[in-house]
Structure 1
Amino acid sequence: MPEQERSFALSNRAQAFLHEMVPGGAHTNARGSDQYPELMAPIIARGDGARVLDVDGNWFVEYGAGLKSVTLGHGYDPIVRRVCEAASSGVNFTRPSVWELRAAERFLDMVPTAEMVKFAKNGSDVTTAAVKLARAATGRDLIAVCRTQPFFSVDDWFIGTTSMPTGIPDAVRELTVSFDFNDLDSLKDVLAKHPGQIAGIMLEPATGTREPQAGFLEGVRELADGHGAVLIFDEMICGMRWSSAGAQAVYGVTPDLSTWGKALGNGFSISALAGKRDLMERGGLNTDASRVFLLSNTHGAETTGLAAYLAVADVYTERDVVAEIEAAGQKLQMALLDVIEKAGVSDYLSVFGRPSALVFGTLDAAGKPSQPYRTLLLQELLRHGVLCQSLVISAAHSDDDIAVTIEAFRRASEVYARAIESGTTDGYLSGRPVAPAIREFAAPRRLEV
């Protein structure tokens, strides 16, 4: 019996309403409907483990859950129970709660390279706080960021460097300079061009697709020390995926400050700024220096996020979650590469990266990166029950989930092969191609459903 065609009618109607009420139709650019095949962007009703149900009644195996924030699965009972326990005793108070004490103790035990920690609700808050500390400690203005890594903050100091700088003064944009990952010479050039002006150097120690070359992180550490700059590691993705102590523990290089988020709370809102005591205390009370206004917000220590982190930390202590994720990722990658090879499209479709943070590459018939072919792959995967922008896996992905994914890729690869043979996605792609999440102009979209 042929597979029943999936309907997205209710999702499309809901998405149209969202566009009327919410700029961009979503609260995160990467979640936007422009990131998915046209009129095939599910609106999620609920999740269970590694699967999600949309408002049309379609179940999907989902990857990259919560933009890489969910490592244990949707609705994971130990997390939910701990959060409910915290919420039932109050969510926000006039004074610090015991949850703040417990979470700080646990974090510093789990991340021994850090001496102090302060929690917040999102990643941008803590990366910007790290920038302020670096500037305060050095008396300098410039921040050097890795330009070959896509995102560090929604705040002006970083967004001014992207293709969406509208609304950000030129004077602010000029305060951020950049270098390349795995290229010490490019960092040396920036430091030489701006002698004594670089307050901080910020980078992800690794990404899903790029490991640090031997000696690179050590070289960055040495350059930061030699030029009196603060070294900041963005551990948003690596933290809890590379290890519970972050990529800094994996590669053996300790930053001055590190920023955390995403998987800390298995999808609940919590982030953290951690690092050396002398820097962190610039935002505290034990300092004789001018104080930094550091992460002071109403919801920074809201109890449910802290409770979620503590529950996640318990699971990571009881189980080797990272090993589970990497084993599942390796299994998935090997199976998909086999499927792609059998379809004859290995030269055009690939699955690569760290097993805990896999991505897929889509090339056109000329061997060039292609948004239309990426859209075609996403379209066919959605039709066969897989929702993904990448293949970032979790410990919740079961053998059955992986089997569904393999079959969906098998069918998608067959269509991809026909499109490659045709030299075009015309006739195969139902709507407009997806577009980069960060871009200056909005592409035309069709909302009538």
Structure 2
Amino acid sequence: MAPPAEEFPLPRSREANERLHALVPGGAHTYAKGDDQYPADLAPVISHGRGAHVWDVDGNRYLEYGSGLRSVSLGHAHPRVVEAVRRELDRGSNFVRPSIVEVEAAERFLATVTTAEMVKFAKNGSDATTAAVRLARAVTGRPLVAVCDAHPFFSVDDWFIGTTPMSAGVPAATTELTVTFPYADLAATEEVLARHQGQVACLILEPASQTEPPPGYLTGLRALADRHGCVLVFDEMITGFRWSEAGAQGLYGVVPDLSTFGKALGNGFAVAALAGRRELMERGGLRHPGERVFLLSTTHGAETHALAAAMAVLTTYVEEGVTARLHAIGERLAAGVRDAAAGAGVGDHLLVRGRASNLVFATLGTDLRPSQEYRTLFLRQLIAGGVLAPSFVVSSALSDADVDRTVDVVAQACAVYRKALDAGDPTPWLAGRPVKPVFRRLA
């Protein structure tokens, strides 16, 4: 049996975290991976991973959820992906002219995401979404970007980050060019477009998130964008492949003008994509008579091994029915967690939300409001039980036994959760400061 959370030392991880903070701002290269997102002194530093498991530098093994911030959906070191990458490594990774791999990867992508006509690859999602925004502004001649307020993150670039609490360094004049609209409310969105009549270049949103889009919503939004002359952009960084092999647009049958993909596309390798209608995408090319758009031009955007990884991922999803497997695993996990929470008397406090392939959890306090303190308590117990789970987002590498083991650990954590609720104060079970939101104005 795993030791209690307060008896789970991670000396090498703690030392490595100190070294990270001394050299890397924030102690990680992605804020969502920062040690402030984990309980005090329980932020393991990873040594390696295989399948659904990772090992920290202290030698502890964990079942891992939300792998690579949802990017490693096939599991770590997936054989088909690793072999595809290995074949390219000895052939060179970057040349002065396009590699034939770029053609093959584009063909494979467009054969899978059939709603798009052209694609351009990049190394991260922010570059792809910003390219979509720039292209929309260029083709419409309009300055404003309308972002859906239900999605917490679109890009590291100023047009979006300026709207968050971490807006330091972004000029107010830039932020004023971004407006928001609510998800699943066509009337309110039309009001935004009418208020800024003829000024909004694009509507950008995640087509689905923790709730399914209401019937007719995406179709209505498509019609609304057409009526107001806006470019409709789907951010499919998360929904891409997890909702269907062709993303949310393939599942719901609504075709955006532009869409962006990343995360699962490379199974951990750095590759993202901007895809869309030829008429728009070609404005960033050489075969049109209009003003050129500097769309995407990245030195490493088409590294051969990353594109080989993407092709292997796309093939694996289609041939092995990965999306269906992710849903089946997620459904088993969600049912087990809900049963464990109900059995411990915390079913109203520990909530599992989202599509089965993209589960998150919410921790509520005695007032039934989201609580960082109870999240900290829950995470401490999971980590001590060998489950690393900032979310319950599954990978296809998880076995039924892995899920059952996770549910057992959740049940033990829920028993502690109940004790804290009965005491009316989780502080004795925190052993330090609570975890913190990623987006906050002060460190």
- The TM-score, its normalising length taken from structure 1, stands at 0.97
Separation (CA, whole Å) in 2 of partners of 1:80 and 1:347: 43
Q: 1:147 aligns with which of 141, 145, 149?
A: 149
Residue aligning to 1:389? 390
Give how far 1:6 is off.
3.0
Residue aligning to 2:63? 61
Residue by residue, what CA displacement relative to the aligned partner does 1:233-283 show, whole Å, maximum 9, x if unpaired? Answer: 000000010011010011111000000000001111000000000100110
Separation (CA, whole Å) in 1 of partners of 2:429 and 2:311: 47
Residues 144, 316 of structure 1: CA spacing in aligned structure 2 closer, same or farther, 3 A cutoff?
Answer: same
Aligned length: 441
Note if 1:44 corresponds to 2:66: no
Residue aligning to 1:24? 26
Matches within 5 A, 1:272-291: 272-291=273-292
Give how far 1:297 is off.
1.2
Residue by residue, what CA displacement relative to the aligned partner does 1:140-164 show, whole Å, maximum 9, x if unpaired? Answer: 0100000121000000000011111
Give how far 1:79 is off.
0.5
**SS of match in other structure, 1:239:** helix
- The TM-score, its normalising length taken from structure 2, stands at 0.98
Residue aligning to 1:92? 94
Give how far 1:2 is off.
6.8
Q: Which runs of 4+ in 1 moved over 2 A?
A: 1-7
**SS of match in other structure, 1:240:** helix
Structure 1 gaps of 5+ residues are: 443-449
Residue aligning to 2:342? 341
Residues 352, 2 of structure 1: CA spacing in aligned structure 2 closer, same or farther, 3 A cutoff?
Answer: closer
Separation (CA, whole Å) in 2 of partners of 1:377 and 1:184: 38
Give how far 1:7 is off.
2.2
Residue aligning to 2:79? 77
Residue by residue, what CA displacement relative to the aligned partner does 1:275-318 show, whole Å, maximum 9, x if unpaired? Answer: 00010011000111110111111101111110001111121122
**SS of match in other structure, 1:165:** coil
Separation (CA, whole Å) in 2 of partners of 1:196 and 1:424: 53
Contact 1:6 1:58 survives alignment (8 Å): no
Matched to 2:270, the amino acid is: S
Contact 1:385 1:404 survives alignment (8 Å): no
Matched to 1:336, the amino acid is: V
Percentage of identical aligned residues? 56
Matches within 5 A, 1:327-338: 327-338=328-339
Separation (CA, whole Å) in 2 of partners of 1:37 and 1:372: 10
Residue by residue, what CA displacement relative to the aligned partner does 1:197-245 show, whole Å, maximum 9, x if unpaired? Answer: 00010000001x1211111111111110000000000000000100110
Matched to 1:189, the amino acid is: E
Separation (CA, whole Å) in 1 of partners of 2:109 and 2:427: 52
Give how far 1:400 is off.
2.2
Separation (CA, whole Å) in 1 of partners of 2:439 and 2:139: 32
Separation (CA, whole Å) in 1 of partners of 2:219 and 2:32: 32
Give how far 1:3 is off.
4.2
Residue by residue, what CA displacement relative to the aligned partner does 1:356-391 show, whole Å, maximum 9, x if unpaired? Answer: 011111111121110000111001100101001110
Contact 2:352 2:362 survives alignment (8 Å): yes
Matched to 1:344, the amino acid is: G
CA RMSD of aligned residues (A): 1.0
Give how far 1:329 is off.
0.5
